[in-house]
């Protein structure tokens, strides 16, 4: 017997249908997997080969990141269409979750083929999953609309909880244990979300089983049952449909070709041409953009005055939204790289102890609250949906285990000063931060010269991440090592990892201080490709601490002192967004309900201003980093300020954006305008990657601070534009606030 529309509230948890909390945990694990993987993506691509990454230049990693996030939002249109017209909401969720589970699993294999296949599966899966969870909630609450706001508040608590724990735990596993662990755990919890949804789906009755046939006319090609009397219709003409297809093909082609051409360094292109001296990439995207703008003008100009004006106002807000997301989404890209390479993330002594306590609390307390919700769901649904509850319970056992392991390892983490004799007989000191436990006077092994890490100091693709636990560095956070002159004994070609093209690889041979011969392969960059057999080059030799007795030991280090310390992961700062949302969302909600509620333009102006203040903070913080520097030790306070201001800006724009679409256009056009809106978000995501790509060039020429000042100026300019346009947009909105 299926559940009817009117008896969802017969089985309640915390005043809402139990089915809402099935969706809560399904969405929570999906967000866990999405944000957990996303926060690692750029770091994995740019990590050196010695750190088990792909050793990509930052601009290549950010190019593929921008394309991936843009396609995630574009795919929601495809997923929404299939759900509405072919398979229904529920099957769309199942298909999406299954594809994402496979996607994360593929990425855990870390080979080029499976990384790309995994990203493709994640894009398509997210498109099926993302828009249809909220559709199920809307159907469940359609007879009790007064309770819908409360339902979505609870649901989005699950969204933020998933993002919070995904970033925290997948980020920690990826950085500290291994990339495959981070990617793999994201997939495991996506699988848990899928299974608990599948085995509890009868709780939704017939909601979402059948496609909503009445919405098949979203392009206004047929009869509109929701059309109000006297409303003007504006069906798409054949020419307009052709323009849509051409613009879409051109846009998708450019989005895909951009990272392909950059990663393969021009070896592969979907298209490769120029016209009148203009690069083909620019011609393609400009043509697609012009077609889209012409189409918008043709469409909007045909509507009656009020509808036309309101649609123009939506286009304006969409334009500002592009720049909001382009700058806000620097978090998993350029800001993550800034945290890894330019931030002093090691806290020692009292500051280290304070961080350990605070981090333990923000890990355990939220998990305890979510577990309480889980227990309440168990009480109401275990008898009917035992298997779903058991699977959900098992996922929480694992998540608690990972959380406790993280807290325990951070608790054990300490800073050790060690003394050792280098390979030429000099006595030196170094400092390491690790959760390995050592005592003063203890002898620890230092790997011999057959297992040393080598890199060319001028080659950013082969530099060791010296701030990562396990590598020796001095008190100035500089890599500890000696320069040796190495001779090239052979030059060969091999596939460049992740790109499928040939690169020159040189085999360097040098003699160390004990007259032992050591060899090492290094990829030659463009400026070094003219090197040939017999040429010599300076290489830096650094000791790589593995703490393994299974490896041959030539040297030992003596532990001199121990002090409480912790190294904050580069990904950790991303959790601040979820924390600040939970802390400040109630305040903003009360603000919007008060007599001081700003206009739509006012919210956008405030949001972009706050976004600019965040970028200004990191611009000031990075001011002392010289042009071309690859490492620095900027205080963590600047990153904390970035995420604080950016979250406040997000609360001004993101939650209210889509509500304006639903308020400003008739019901028969909502689907089309939502499509325009998601297109704007997708453009913003791709632009975020493009902005990030330029960070490296700007940093090398003018300093990293200049890059952040550019983003600050763009944010302030968009804020000023929103403010200045207030009277015009207010008039165009015709009374809608």
Q: Return the higher-pLDDT residue of 53 and 694.
A: 694
DSSP 474-490: -TTSPBPEEEEEEEEEE
Sorted by sequence, the CB contacts under 8 Å of residue 692 that are 6+ apart come out as 58, 59, 62, 65, 66, 330, 333, 334
> Beta strand 16-17 with 278-279: parallel, antiparallel or unpaired?
unpaired
Over 80: is that where the pLDDT of 322 sits?
yes
Per residue in 698-708, pLDDT (tens digit) is 998 899 999 99
Q: Which residues, at least 6 apart from 714, have a Cβ–Cβ distance to it below 8 Å?
A: 323, 327, 612
Tokens of 325: 């997301």
pLDDT at 447: 40
Q: Residue 506 is inside which H or E element, if any?
A: strand 502-511
Mean per-residue pLDDT for 404-410?
Answer: 93
| Residue 311 · residue 668 · CB < 8 Å | no
Strand partners, 453: 542
Of 664 and 308, which is predicted with more confidence?
308
Please answer whether residues 486 and 537 qualify as being in contact, where contact means their C-beta atoms are separated by less than 8 angstroms. yes
Task: Pick left, alpha or beta for residue 628 (phi over 0 → left; psi -120 to 50 → alpha; otherwise beta).
Answer: left
How high is the pLDDT of residue 664?
A: 77
**pTM surpassing 0.85?**
no
Give the mean pLDDT of 81-94: 84
Structure confidence at residue 471 (pLDDT): 33
Locus of tokens 């994201």: 186
pLDDT at 26 over 70: yes
* Main-chain dihedrals φ then ψ at residue 454, nearest 5 degrees: -120, 145
Question: Given a cut of 60, is residue 484 above it in pLDDT?
Answer: no
- Weakest-pLDDT range from 87-91, 133-137, 147-151: 147-151
Query: What pLDDT does residue 643 have?
Result: 96
Q: Between the CA of residue 126 and those of 68, 130, 216, 541, what are the distances in Å?
A: 11, 5, 22, 44
- For the chain, the domains span 16-216, 235-302, 304-345+572-737, 416-567
Please compute the mean of the pLDDT values over residues 36-45 and round it to a whole number: 92
Per the CB < 8 A criterion, the answer to whether 625 and 697 are in contact is no
Residue 690, Cα to own-chain centre: how many angstroms? 15
Looking at residue 686, its pLDDT comes to 94
- Residue 213 banded pLDDT, cuts 50, 70, 90: low
Q: Which H/E stretch holds residue 434? A: strand 427-434
Q: What is the pLDDT of residue 633?
A: 86
Question: What span, in angstroms and rounded, lies between the C-alpha atoms of 535 and 533?
Answer: 6
Higher pLDDT among residues 677 and 397, named by residue: 397
Going by pLDDT thresholds of 50, 70 and 90, the confidence category of residue 495 is low
Pick the closest to residue 473 from 353, 355, 345, 572 (CA basis).
Answer: 345
Place of tokens 């993506």: 41
Q: Calculate what percentage of the chain has a pLDDT beyond 90.
A: 35
Residue 585 is predicted with a pLDDT of 83
Give the pLDDT confidence score for residue 9 in this predicted structure: 62
Are the beta carbons of 311 and 666 closer than 8 angstroms? no
Residue 48 has pLDDT above 80, yes or no: no
Asked if pLDDT for residue 39 goes beyond 60, the answer is yes
Q: What is the mean pLDDT of the chain?
A: 80
Specify the pLDDT at position 631. 79
Whether 142 has a pLDDT exceeding 90, the answer reads no
Q: What is the mean pLDDT of residues 228-233?
A: 54
Residue with the larger pLDDT of the pair 488 and 568: 568
- At residue 323 the predicted structure's pLDDT band, cuts being 50, 70 and 90, is very high
The CATH number for 16-216, chosen from 2.60.120.20, 3.40.50.300, 1.10.357.10, 1.20.1250.20, is: 1.20.1250.20
- In sequence order, what DSSP letters do the residues of 359-419 get, joined into one string? HHHHHHHHHHHHHHHHHHHHHHHTTTSHHHHHHHHHHHHHHHHHHHHHHHHHHH-EEEEEE
* Tokens 């979750």 belong to residue: 97
- The answer to whether 194 and 94 are in contact (CB under 8 A) is yes
Would you place residue 480 in the very low, low, confident or very high pLDDT band (cuts 50, 70, 90)?
A: very low
Cα 724 to Cα 418, 680, 727, 737: the distances in Å are: 61, 22, 8, 17
Query: Per the CATH hierarchy, to which homologous superfamily does domain 304-345+572-737 belong?
Result: MFS general substrate transporter like domains (1.20.1250.20)
* For residue 336, pLDDT beyond 80: yes
Residue 72 has pLDDT above 50, yes or no: yes
Least confident range from 52-56, 456-460, 579-583: namely 456-460
Residues 6 or more apart whose CB falls under 8 angstroms from that of 514 comprise 423, 449
Give one word for 65, left, alpha or beta, with left for phi > 0 and alpha for psi -120 to 50: alpha
| H/E segment holding residue 455 | strand 453-455
User: Which residue's entry shows tokens 């333009």?
Assistant: 601
Residue 212 pLDDT:
60
Q: Are strands 414-421 and 553-567 parallel, antiparallel or unpaired?
A: antiparallel
More confident residue, 495 or 80: 80
Rounded CA gap, 501 and 328, in Å?
A: 34
- For residue 664, give Cα distances in angstroms to 297, 312, 420: 17, 10, 70
Measuring CA to CA, which residue among 307, 101, 91, 282 is closest to residue 184? Answer: 101
Q: Please give the residue that has the higher pLDDT: either 425 or 732.
A: 732
Of 13-27, 117-131, 518-532, 602-616, the range with the lowest mean pLDDT is 518-532
Higher pLDDT, 620 or 534: 620
Q: Which of 151-160, 325-334, 414-423 has the weakest average pLDDT?
A: 414-423
**Would you list the DSSP string of 299-366?**
HHTTS-HHHHHHHHHHHHHHHHHHHHHHHHTTIIIIIHHHHHHHB--EEEHHHHHHHHHHHHHHHHHH
Q: Which range, 339-353, 369-383, 512-526, is most confident?
A: 339-353
């Amino acid at each position: 017997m299926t559940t009817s529309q009117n008896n969802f509230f017969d089985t309640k948890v915390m005043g809402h249908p139990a089915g809402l909390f099935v969706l809560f945990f399904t969405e929570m694990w999906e967000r866990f997997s999405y944000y957990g993987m996303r926060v690692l993506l750029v770091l994995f691509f740019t990590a050196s080969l010695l750190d088990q990454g792909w050793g990509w230049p930052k601009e290549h990693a950010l190019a593929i990141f921008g394309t991936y996030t843009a396609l995630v939002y574009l795919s929601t249109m495809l997923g929404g269409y299939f759900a509405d017209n072919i398979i229904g909401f529920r099957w769309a969720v199942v298909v999406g979750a299954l594809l994402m589970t496979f996607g994360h699993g593929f990425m855990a294999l870390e080979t080029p083929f499976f990384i790309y296949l995994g990203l493709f599966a994640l894009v398509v899966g997210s498109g099926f999953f993302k828009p249809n969870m909220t559709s199920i909630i809307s159907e469940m609450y359609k007879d009790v609309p007064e309770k819908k706001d409360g339902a979505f508040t609870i649901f989005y608590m699950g969204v933020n909880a998933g993002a919070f724990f995904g970033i925290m735990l997948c980020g920690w596993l990826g950085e500290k244990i291994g990339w495959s662990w981070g990617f793999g755990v994201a997939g495991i919890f996506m699988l848990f979300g899928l299974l608990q949804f599948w085995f509890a789906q009868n709780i939704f009755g017939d909601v979402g089983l059948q496609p909503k046939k009445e919405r098949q006319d979203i392009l206004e090609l047929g009869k509109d049952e929701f059309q109000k009397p006297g409303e003007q219709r504006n069906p798409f003409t054949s020419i307009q449909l052709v323009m849509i297809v051409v613009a879409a093909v051109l846009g998708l082609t450019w989005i895909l070709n951009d990272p392909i051409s950059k990663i393969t360094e021009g070896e592969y292109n979907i298209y490769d041409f120029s016209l009148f001296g203009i690069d083909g990439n620019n011609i393609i995207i400009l043509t697609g953009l012009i077609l889209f703008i012409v189409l918008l003008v043709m469409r909007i100009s045909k509507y009656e005055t009020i509808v036309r004006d309101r649609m123009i106002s939506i286009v304006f807000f969409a334009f500002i939204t592009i720049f909001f997301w382009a700058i806000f989404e620097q978090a998993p890209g350029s800001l993550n790289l800034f945290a890894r390479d330019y931030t002093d993330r090691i806290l020692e002594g009292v500051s280290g102890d304070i961080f350990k306590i605070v981090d333990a609390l923000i890990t355990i307390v939220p998990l305890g609250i979510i577990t309480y919700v889980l227990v309440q769901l168990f009480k109401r649904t275990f008898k009917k949906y035992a298997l779903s509850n058991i699977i959900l319970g098992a996922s929480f056992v694992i998540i608690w285990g990972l959380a406790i392991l993280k807290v325990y390892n951070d608790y054990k983490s300490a800073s050790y000063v060690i003394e050792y004799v280098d390979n030429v007989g000099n006595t030196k000191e170094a400092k390491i931060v690790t959760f390995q436990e050592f005592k003063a006077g203890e002898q620890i092994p230092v790997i011999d010269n057959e297992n040393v890490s080598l890199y060319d100091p001028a080659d950013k693709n082969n530099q060791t991440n010296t701030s990562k636990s396990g590598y020796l560095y001095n008190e100035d956070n500089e890599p500890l090592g000696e320069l040796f002159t190495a001779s090239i004994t052979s030059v060969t070609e091999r596939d460049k990892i992740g790109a499928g093209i040939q690169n020159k690889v040189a085999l360097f041979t040098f003699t160390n201080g004990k007259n032992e011969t050591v060899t090492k392969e290094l990829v030659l960059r463009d400026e070094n490709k003219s090197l040939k057999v017999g040429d010599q080059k300076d290489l830096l030799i650094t000791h790589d601490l593995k703490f393994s007795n299974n490896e041959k030991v030539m040297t030992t280090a003596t532990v001199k002192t121990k002090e409480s310390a912790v190294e904050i992961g580069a990904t950790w700062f991303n959790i601040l967004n979820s924390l600040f949302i939970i802390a400040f969302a109630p305040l903003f909600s009360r603000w919007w309900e008060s007599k001081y509620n700003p206009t739509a333009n006012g919210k956008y102006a405030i949001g972009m201003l706050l976004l600019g203040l965040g970028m200004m903070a990191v611009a000031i913080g990075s001011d002392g980093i010289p042009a071309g520097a690859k490492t620095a030790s900027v205080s963590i306070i600047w990153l904390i300020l970035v995420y604080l201001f950016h979250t406040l800006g997000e609360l001004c724009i993101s939650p209210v954006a889509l509500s304006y679409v639903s308020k400003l256009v008739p019901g028969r056009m909502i689907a089309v305008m939502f499509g325009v809106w998601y297109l704007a978000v997708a453009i913003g995501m791709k632009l975020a990657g493009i902005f990030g790509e330029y960070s490296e060039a700007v940093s090398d020429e003018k300093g990293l601070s200049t890059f952040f000042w550019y983003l600050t100026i763009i944010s302030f300019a968009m804020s000023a534009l929103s403010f200045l346009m207030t009277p015009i947009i207010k008039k165009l909105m015709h009374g809608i606030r």
